[in-house]
Amino acid sequence: MYTLLTGPAFYIALGVCIIGMIVRFYQYFNGLSWQLDRVAYKEYPAMGFKGAVRSIYKWLIPYGTYGWRAQPVMAAAFFGFHVGAILLPLFLIGHNVFLKEKLGFSLFFNLSTPVADWLTWIAVISLLFLLLRRLVLPEVRIMTDRKDWGILLISIAPFITGMLARYQVGDYSFWLTAHILTGEIVLLAIPFTKLSHVFLFFASRAQLGMDFGIKRGGLKGSKMAW
Amino acid sequence: MPEGTLCNKKPVDTAEGITTLLADKSGKIYYEEMKHLEIDSDLLWKTIQNTCKTRIRTWLEICAHCGMCADSCFLYLANDRDPKQVPAYKIQSTLGEIIRKKGKVDNAFMLHAMEVAWAQCTCCNRCGTYCPHGIDTGIMFGYLRGLCYQQGFVPWEMKIGAGMHRVYNAQMDITSEDYIDTFEWMIEENEEEYPGLKVPVDVEDADIMYTVNAREAKHYPEDLAEAAILFHIAGENWTIPSKGWELTSLAMFAGDWAACKMQVESVYDAMDRLRPKRMIGTECGHAHRATVVEGPYWAGRKSGRPPVESIHYIEWLAEALRTGKLKIDPAKRIKEPVTLQDSCNYVRNHGLRETAREIISYIVEPGYFIEMSPNKEHNFCCGGGGGFNGIGCFRKQRNVGLKVKRDQIIATGAKLVISPCHNCWDAIRDLEEEFEIGIRWSFLKPLIIKMLIIPEHLLPEEEAEEEDE
């Protein structure tokens, strides 16, 4: 099982994820239509680029937009989870060692163990908060469907299994295998589920940034981050 | 019964058709027929496949159902935080559902979708600026309205309004002759007070081509006079086109995209014919959005711009005050608590956040202007945008929607609300009628005229003589 998961399954999951993201990214931008969307994308490339970058950048900054500031607790939980969800898979030392072995390279830097531990705890607690929020707030509950629970489950599983392995609760090799399996499930799910937001976030924000930058006020000098 | 005689999938494009629809008071028969209207699912699905591309599909797909858009929606707030008023829920349960079912929806569903599309969203686009994923639900509701319109599920007034544009190139049954006559009559009424006042019709190569809201010609002709007076005093070289004078588009509210195109093309034709340096539209929000912001795309203009530079009335006013073409008598400035209603259509959706404030800096005594909160791009819809004001069967819902603006105004303590937008102006008038909070409301034109310093050579003879003495 372990050999399968760290061998062919890993390459397949990673390949599907990366190729899937590229294809969907291409499809997204290819499907934009100046007349249907009513945005002259190609006529104002500079304003469009500026709008897109501003829209992405500001929303990536904690409390960088009016929207984040309007919901400070949600923003804290959101960033608490997402910072860990991005940094840990990419820069955890164990992951980098694994990458080096499998692909012959590792990524930029390694997180120190205390930092990684902190990020993990913060991410898990934040995700539990988001889960609780889904249960408690009527305005979130009304929209929550089985898919949303599925995504939460898929997203939290690698964290939980990773922690159990890290703290060696019970059978280490079992949790490690479970961790790799759940991680690969995430990779496979990214192009085909709502998890596609990990890359389509940039596409969608870029589009709205272009929309406002080119057409809805950008040319009038509005400095708003849409 | 598949197609009703009044309620059906065909747009109204004759004067008789409009008369017949209007004769059905409040759309009584029309709505009765709607309950039996069949859905052409094949057409609906084909249209979606042809026009619903990656932008909207991605929005619907990646919506995290996080509910962060809830508080951004004034209708959610006005309806005691009813979860059914969360923007994401509203669009997922209507447009999202139509797409999931590949257009196979029934009559009851479409009746519900129509109510959500016109009575639970004014397309103010505020939620779009609060979504981490950049999902603009207002745009999707505009799209949904188009689908509803195609299937004949459109409020009676909107069907008539779109028909008016098709027949008269105006939102009301006003012909070009009616329009010119009204404008000239208003000039006659005022030329004694303003000698030399005139309305130049179809003058080529003028600096300004002025366009209006047909309501002004029909119900508020003094607005036409005020526009003429202000251009006259500012010494502008202006004109009105005899055809293509209507800036508004109820067709946009109705989702009748073909009529939208016909309407803006009539204005663009006037621009091509008269070659003005600029087009200036009256104090209206959706009209600016329709003709200046969205219109070029309906007309297939790749540049995304109208044929000539087109600006909102407040942009011209601010410029005229800044450059001294219009001068304000400081003694006549507003000296009572006053606030400003930002129109979603040209503030949030066209960036004119400081323009009206610049005007206010000239016309309000310092210390008397109080901002609403939130304001500028974050301001709430007046409560009556997107056609909401004009739909009789949704009047109750509209009146509930006014509560947010009412509370915003009360919190400022202002007695006067400046509202340079027809829709906002109407909504604020109606909220005063409904809740009696003791406010007045006004466009900018009448306020400015009252405080102008009129150059001596433009004064009536007696007054000029008096001034000399």
Residues A117-176: pLDDT tens digits? 999 999 999 999 999 999 999 999 999 999 999 999 999 999 999 999 888 888 999 999
Task: State which residue of chain A sits closest to B137, comparing Cα positions.
Answer: A208
Query: What backbone phi and psi angles, to 5 degrees, belong to B131?
Result: -95, 125
Cα separation, A104 vs B368, in Å, equals 69
What's the pLDDT at A97? 82
List the structure tokens of B262. Answer: 């016909």
Dihedral sign (CA B138, B139, B143, B149): positive
Name, in order, each residue with C-beta under 8 angstroms of B389's C-beta and a sequence gap of 6 or more.
B398, B423, B426, B427, B430
Strand, coil or helix: what is B430?
helix
Chain B touched by A146 (CB under 8 Å): no
Task: State which residue of chain B sits closest to A225, comparing Cα positions.
Answer: B129
**For B39-154, CATH number?**
1.10.1060
Residues from chain A contacting residue B70 (CB–CB below 8 Å): 139
CA A180 to chain centre: 18
Strand, coil or helix: what is B417?
strand
Residue with tokens 């959500």: B116
Cα separation, B294 vs B304, in Å, equals 8
- Report the CATH fold assignment for B167-322: Rossmann fold (3.40.50)
Chain B touched by A33 (CB under 8 Å): yes
CB pairs under 8 A between A and B: 151
Task: State which residue of chain B sits closest to A44, comparing Cα positions.
Answer: B303
Chain A: closest CA distance from residue B358 (Å): 15
**For A2-220, CATH number?**
1.20.950
Cα separation, A202 vs A220, in Å, equals 24
User: Fold match between B39-154 and B330-450?
Assistant: no
Judge: A224–B377 Cβ closer than 8 Å, yes or no. Answer: yes
Q: CA-CA distances (angstroms) from residue B338 to B114, B226, B366?
A: 37, 21, 11
Query: What backbone phi and psi angles, to 5 degrees, belong to A37?
Result: -80, -15
B161 near B250, Cβ under 8 Å?
yes
List the structure tokens of A199. Answer: 């890359």
Query: What backbone phi and psi angles, to 5 degrees, belong to A85?
Result: -65, -20
What's the pLDDT at A93? 81
- Report the CATH fold assignment for B330-450: Rossmann fold (3.40.50)
Instruction: Determine which helix (DSSP H) or strand (DSSP E) holds B311, and give its type and residue range.
Output: strand B309-312
Which 3-state string (H, E, C) describes B179-225?
A: HHHHHHHHHHHHCCCCCCCCCCECCCCCCEEEEECHHHHHCCHHHHH
For B372-389, give one letter per residue: b (16+ CB within 10 A) or e: beebbbbbbbbbbbbbbb
| Strand ranges of the sheet holding B309-312, from the earlier edge strand across to the other edge | B238-239, B208-211, B278-281, B309-312
Region of poorest pLDDT, from A3-12, A25-34, A89-98, B283-292: A89-98
List the structure tokens of A72. Answer: 């400070």
Judge: A67–B129 Cβ closer than 8 Å, yes or no. Answer: yes
Judge: B131–A67 Cβ closer than 8 Å, yes or no. Answer: yes
Strand, coil or helix: what is B295?
helix
Judge: A40–B88 Cβ closer than 8 Å, yes or no. Answer: no
Q: Which of B308, B305, B328, B309 is nearest to B318 (CA)?
A: B328
Judge: B303–A40 Cβ closer than 8 Å, yes or no. Answer: yes
Q: Which of B406, B375, B391, B373 is nearest to B78 (CA)?
A: B406
Q: For Cα atoms B369, B374, B377, give the angle at the middle one, nearest 5 degrees.
A: 100
Dihedral angle, C-alpha B428, B87, A82, A181, nearest 10 °: 180
Chain B touched by A86 (CB under 8 Å): no
Q: What is the ipTM of this complex?
A: 0.93
Query: What backbone phi and psi angles, to 5 degrees, belong to B217?
Result: -70, -35
Task: State which residue of chain B sits closest to A57, comparing Cα positions.
Answer: B132
The residue of B47, B51, B53, B378 whose CB has the most chain A CBs within 10 angstroms, and thus the best one to mutate to test that interface, is B53
Residue A194: half-sphere exposure toward Cβ, Cα within 13 Å = 21
Chain A: closest CA distance from residue B77 (Å): 11
Check whether A2 has a pLDDT greater than 90: no
What's the pLDDT at A112? 85
B336 near B418, Cβ under 8 Å?
no
What's the pLDDT at A3? 83
Kindly list the averaged pLDDT for each block of 10 residues, start to end, along chain B of length 469: 89 96 96 96 97 96 94 97 97 97 97 98 96 96 98 97 97 95 96 95 98 95 97 97 97 97 98 98 97 97 97 98 97 97 96 96 97 95 96 97 97 97 97 96 97 92 65
Residues from chain A contacting residue B81 (CB–CB below 8 Å): 138-139
Task: State which residue of chain B sits closest to A142, comparing Cα positions.
Answer: B83
Cα separation, B108 vs B114, in Å, equals 10
Residues from chain A contacting residue B303 (CB–CB below 8 Å): 40, 43
A179-196: pLDDT as tens digits: 999 999 999 999 999 999
Query: What backbone phi and psi angles, to 5 degrees, belong to B86?
Result: -70, 125
**Percent of chain A whose predicted confidence (pLDDT) is above 70:** 99
Check whether A104 has a pLDDT greater than 90: no
Cα separation, A158 vs A3, in Å, equals 18
For B308-329, give one letter per residue: b (16+ CB within 10 A) or e: eebbbbbbbbbbbbeeebbbbe
What's the pLDDT at B1? 53
**Percent of chain A whose predicted confidence (pLDDT) is above 90:** 73
**Mean pLDDT of all residues in A35-42:** 95
Chain B touched by A224 (CB under 8 Å): yes
What's the pLDDT at B467? 58
Judge: A30–B54 Cβ closer than 8 Å, yes or no. Answer: yes
Domain positions in chain B are 39-154, 167-322, 330-450
